[in-house]
Every structure is written in structure tokens, then in C-alpha cells.
Chains A and B, each alone.
Chain A
Amino acid sequence: MRRAAPWVVLALALAFPLAMQAEHQTYYLSFASRIFVYALAATSLNLILGYGGMISFGHAAFVGTGAYVSSILLSEGVASAWIGWPAAIAASALAALAIGAVSLRTRGAYFIMITLAFAQMMFFLVNSMKAYGGDEGLSLRERASVGLGVDLGSDVAFYYTALTALAAGLYGLHRLARSRFGRVIQAIRENEERAEAIGFPVYRHKLACFVIAGAAAGLAGALLASHGKYVNPNVLHWTHSGTLMVMVILGGVGQLWGGVIGAAGLLGLEDLIANHRMEWLAAMFPNYQQHASLGVGIVLLAIVLFAPQGIAGLARGRRA
């Protein structure tokens, strides 16, 4: 039953657009695509955080790098996704290599703060790029083009593209977790010192993991930019890293579907609060919809304090 579940989900996802009525199609397909893209980003963070045990608070930097590189190429006339997206992936991987190389030499609290700081550095860099919108962001006229007779401007086409990327990412993570590399990464998470003491070059493995995750995040960023035809520096802001982290935690750290569940859950909740007014809640808190993040904060705090099973994967009294 459990082995069949992923296939069932995939089948449902494939059939979803066909089942949608034309009137709602745009909205739900677009929303679903957004979930897929965030799920990919969250899954890439899950690799570092859940499987690797590295508490990186700067993952948004890699999503943002991918988003900006692909957007800049698009705005400069390079319409093909076959150039833009690999470029985004390569740029993010490079950023992850650079940031990881310095950050991974540190441990614990230092590592968390440093990843945070470097991500914010990327934010400021991008913010100061006046040529590409600066703090107002960059609007794109069109989504990237994949050729092959497919127009990504169509929501259905984009939906399937995003779904493909997510499926590829999940399958990749599935294989990676079972591979030699995956075993070492999980061993490092379990007991880093002993992993080194039985002969694994821990730093190198962590760095490789960081780069792989950065690359995947870059793809998610490129998709995100094409999806909304807009990118702005906030995509690199550290609160965005926090959001990704919350997704992974809620969905299940170190679980294959953690990123997917978390993204769907958080984005679904966000949509619910913003677009579907709940009268009973409004009766108590008339403006609740504008202060949604207060609710999110309280719920998150409650989960961390009282229901640590939600983050049981990492939180067994272990220090980073």
C-alpha cells in the first residue's frame, strides 16, 4: 500500500488539469504550479537540513540566485529555458559552493548565523543591482520558452513542467538517500565525529551535499521567476529562508515527502486565510486576515514548544 502511494499521487497530479473546469482552471493550476515549485525548493532544503543535519538559514539565497539569473537572461533576450535554466542551476551551485566552502568550516551556532549572514549579503547585492530593478524587482514579459511546440505561457503546460521538475527532484532525492553518498550524509547527521573517525572526509561530503541542494534550489528559483513573470530581492530575504525551513519542519524533516507536504500545507493555509474569510474567526478578530503571520508565529511556537514530534527527526537533544 505504501509503495503504491507515490504512484497514486503522481497519477492524481497528472490527471488534475484534465479534471479542472475551465472557469477555475487558471487559478488552481497556477496555484498548484506554485506549490510544486515551492515543494522543490523545500525538498532541496530538506536534503541539507533533514538528511544532512545542517541547519542552513540561508537557503533562500540559492532559490533567489536561480530566479535572478534566469530572469536576467530572459530580460536580456535569452528566451530559451534550455539555456536559462541550466545557467540558473549552475549559478546557484556556484553560490552554494562559495558560501558552503566558508560556512561549513564552522559548526553549531556559528554555522547558522553565517549562512544567515551570507544569504543576507546576496540580498543586498541583488538589491543594489539598479540595472535589474533594484528593490522594485524585475518584471518579465514572458515565461521562458522550451520549444518542442510547447508554450509555457499556458498554465497547463507550465503545470506539467513544474510537476516534472518536482518529480525529478523527488526521484533524485530518493536515489540519493539510498546511495553511498546518501548513507554517508545521514551518518554525518547522526554522528559527525565518528563518521570522520571511520575514514569519511566529512567536510567534502557536506560541501557536495550543499552544492547539490543549491543546484536544485536554483531550478526552483528559475521556475518561480517564470511562473510569476516577476522577481524581486525579497525572494532572497532571510525571512524567506525561514519560510522554507518552516515548510520542511511542518512537512517532516528527513522524510522524502517532507518538502511537498510542507509546501502544500503552508501555501494552502496561506491561501485559506487570505482568500476564504472565516466568519467565526472574524467575529473574534475582525482584521485577522491582515495579521495572519501572528497566527503562523503562534502556531509555530506552540509546535516547537509542545509538540516536538513535529521536528522529532532532528530535535532529539542533538546539537547541530
Chain B
Amino acid sequence: MSGILILEQTLNGLQFGLMLFLLAAGLTLVFGIMDMINLAHGSLYMLGAFLAATLVQATGSFAAGVLLAIPATAVLGMLLEVSVLRTLYSRDHLSQVLATFALILIFNEAVRIVWGPDMPLPMPAALSGPVQLLPGMYYPAYRLLIIGVGAVVAALLYLLVARTRIGMLVRAGASNREMALAMGVNIRWLFTLLFGVGAGLCAVAGALLGPLLAVQVGMGENILILAFVVIVIGGIGSIRGALVGSLLVGIVDTIGRAFLPILFGLFFQPRVASAAGPAIASVLVYLLMAVVLYFKPQGLFPARG
């Protein structure tokens, strides 16, 4: 097990974690402020990826396609919020779960009808080669791009939430929903905007991860569950929690999958190791979630005390 391999896997974990953060951030704020369970968040991620794939084909440019997909998805997200999701804010959790579950079914089929079961989204040629980070260590340029974009967006989001008036309103809303709702109509449009931002973030993640994972119907569900795990670990309503949770989940999952089988191979017989290793690795993040919950049932940084 070389240091380079560990570094490489850590970077992979960082990359995945940052993308998870883009999803988790929007989700945790909607949960925290509106106390709404939105299972359809993964569908926005899927829409973002499909829109990006289409626009990349149409414009011939990866950058153009991705950049255009972001506002497109944001608009769709806002339309969804205004039309359907708003009426769910005042409903109980079961209704929210069922309604957004219905939305998943609808979105999956709708995408299948419009686009088909999948779409190609090739990596931009300029970035498909490796970059030398250290002597003897090469890392894919594209993944570095993802890390870079992810870090910049995370920083911008942090600044927005922690340093601006809008951000203050959002944070206040996350810790005291009644107060936020009592502040009236302007706040409602703020949340629509917030939802749009969340959708845009999903599009960034979907478009950037598209070349690495496939752009296909149903791609939203798996990552959605991971986003849930992130939020549960980090604490509902907390951006800081979402960031910490995402990085934790991203790194643990990636490093676990890479090294646990090897580790098991050191201690157990090959037959056991080859079966148990990958099995435990795939559920490592859930075990992590269970452990965190045991000590902190409300996550690491719950927005509400």
C-alpha cells in the first residue's frame, strides 16, 4: 500500500465528498427551514445531468453545456417548488414522502420518454489526461477540476450563508422555522430562490459527475440516499454539518472500498476476505451513520438546539 495510492484515494474521496456536498447543502436547508422531506432532490440531479448532456451535444462545448444546464435546472426547480412543493410545506411528513416519491416516479418516466434510458456525456478532451501532482504521482485532470469547482462553490456557499444578510435570514430560518414563516411573503420568495439555488447545485454535481458515473434514468436515487446519510450525520439545517458530513462520507466510502478488502485480506482467509471485504466496504458509511447517531441522535451540528 503505497502513500501515493492512499493520496490518490483520498483525493477521490474529497472529489466525491464535494459533489455530495452540493446535493446535501440544498437538501439540508429545505429540510431545516421548511421541515420538508424532499425525495425528488435526486431527480433534479438527474435532470441537471441530462440537460447538460443535451446542451453539450447541442453546443459542442462541455463548458457551455454545463454552464447553461445550471440555470435551466434552477428554473425547473423553482417551477416545481412554486407549483407542487409549496403546498406540501404545511402537510405532514407522510404526505411529503408520498408526494415526492410520486415525483420520483414521474420524473424517471418523463426523462425516459423524452431522452431515453441514458445519454452519453463524454469527458472534455482537454481534461482527459493526467496531471502530475508530485514526482511519480499522476492524477486525472478532470477530477482535479471537480475538486476545484467543488471547493470554490463550497466557499461561495459558505460566504453566502455566513456573511450576507440573505444568508443570515436563511440561517435564522433554519433554526427557527416559525419565526421565518411569520416573516411573510418576502420570505416565501426567498425560499423559492433558495430552492432554485439548490437545484442549480444539483445540476453542477450531475453535470460534473456525468462523465464519471453514467447519465441514466434512476441515477438520482442512489446519490440521494447518500445525501440523506450526510444530512443525518451532519445535522439537519446546518451547512457546516453538510460539509463535514459530505467529506466524511466521501472519504470513508472511497477509502473503505479501496482498502478494506486489502485490510481484510491481511487478517482473514482469502475466501472470507473476498466476500466480507467488499460487502462491509459498501455499507461502511451506513455503519458510520449508526455510530454517529448512537452518540448524537441529532447529528454533529444540529441547527436547532
**Touching in the complex, A and B, CB below 8 A?**
yes
Residue of B nearest to A111 (CB): B93
In the assembled complex, A14 has its CB within 8 A of some CB on chain B: no
Q: Which residues of A contact B92 (CB under 8 A)?
A: 314-320
Q: 7 A-B residue contacts at CB 8 Å? A: A109-B93, A113-B228, A114-B293, A125-B283, A129-B275, A293-B108, A304-B91
- A315 with B95: in contact, given A110-B232, A294-B113 (CB under 8 Å)? yes
B97 touches A297 (CB 8 A): no
B101 touches A315 (CB 8 A): no
In the assembled complex, B23 has its CB within 8 A of some CB on chain A: no
Q: Which residues of A contact B236 (CB under 8 A)?
A: 109-110
Within 8 A of A (CB), among B53-99: 84, 87, 90-95, 97-99
A242 to B37, CA, bound (A): 14
Closest chain B CB from A249 CB (angstroms): 6
B102 touches A298 (CB 8 A): yes
In the assembled complex, B110 has its CB within 8 A of some CB on chain A: yes
A242 to B110, CA, bound (A): 19
Q: A110-B236, A121-B287 are in contact. List 6 more A-B contacts (CB 8 A).
A: A116-B228, A124-B279, A128-B282, A131-B275, A298-B102, A304-B99
- The number of A-B residue pairs with CB atoms under 8 Å apart is 140
Within 8 A of B (CB), among A81-126: 102, 105-106, 108-110, 112-114, 116-118, 120-121, 124-125
In the assembled complex, A300 has its CB within 8 A of some CB on chain B: yes
Closest chain B CB from A200 CB (angstroms): 20
- A304 with B95: in contact, given A113-B231, A114-B232, A293-B108 (CB under 8 Å)? yes
- A128 with B93: in contact, given A109-B236, A110-B232, A304-B99 (CB under 8 Å)? no
Q: Which residues of B contact A121 (CB under 8 A)?
A: 283, 286-287
Main secondary structure of the interface of B (DSSP, over half): helix
A123 to B109, CA, bound (A): 23
A294 touches B93 (CB 8 A): no
Q: Which residues of B contact A125 (CB under 8 A)?
A: 279, 282-283
Q: Which residues of B contact A210 (CB under 8 A)?
A: none
Residue of A nearest to B108 (CB): A293
Instruction: Give the size category of B's interface with A.
Output: 35 or more
A130, A242, A301: the one within 8 Å of B106 (CB): A301
Residues of A within 8 A of B (CB): 49, 55, 57, 102, 105-106, 108-110, 112-114, 116-118, 120-121, 124-125, 127-131, 238-239, 242, 245-246, 249, 291, 293-294, 296-298, 300-301, 304-305, 308, 311, 314-320
A238 to B275, CA, bound (A): 24
Q: Which residues of A contact B294 (CB under 8 A)?
A: 102, 105
A116 to B287, CA, bound (A): 14
Q: Which residues of B contact A315 (CB under 8 A)?
A: 91-92, 94-95
- A297 with B98: in contact, given A102-B293, A114-B293, A320-B92 (CB under 8 Å)? no
Q: Which residues of B contact A294 (CB under 8 A)?
A: 105-106, 109-110, 113
Within 8 A of A (CB), among B260-305: 275, 278-279, 282-283, 286-287, 289-290, 293-294, 297-299
A317 to B35, CA, bound (A): 13
In the assembled complex, B144 has its CB within 8 A of some CB on chain A: no
- A311 with B98: in contact, given A112-B93, A113-B228, A300-B105 (CB under 8 Å)? yes
Q: Mark B114-154, 1 if CB is under 8 A from A, else 0.
A: 00000000000000000000000000000000000000000
In the assembled complex, B31 has its CB within 8 A of some CB on chain A: yes
Closest chain A CB from B198 CB (angstroms): 16
Q: Which residues of B contact A239 (CB under 8 A)?
A: 221
B98 touches A304 (CB 8 A): yes
Q: Which residues of B contact A112 (CB under 8 A)?
A: 37, 93, 97
A114, A127, A296, A297: the one within 8 Å of B289 (CB): A114
A105, A118, A120, A300: the one within 8 Å of B101 (CB): A300
Closest chain B CB from A82 CB (angstroms): 29
B105 touches A293 (CB 8 A): yes
Residue of B nearest to A53 (CB): B94
A314 touches B275 (CB 8 A): no
Q: Which residues of A contact B290 (CB under 8 A)?
A: 102, 118
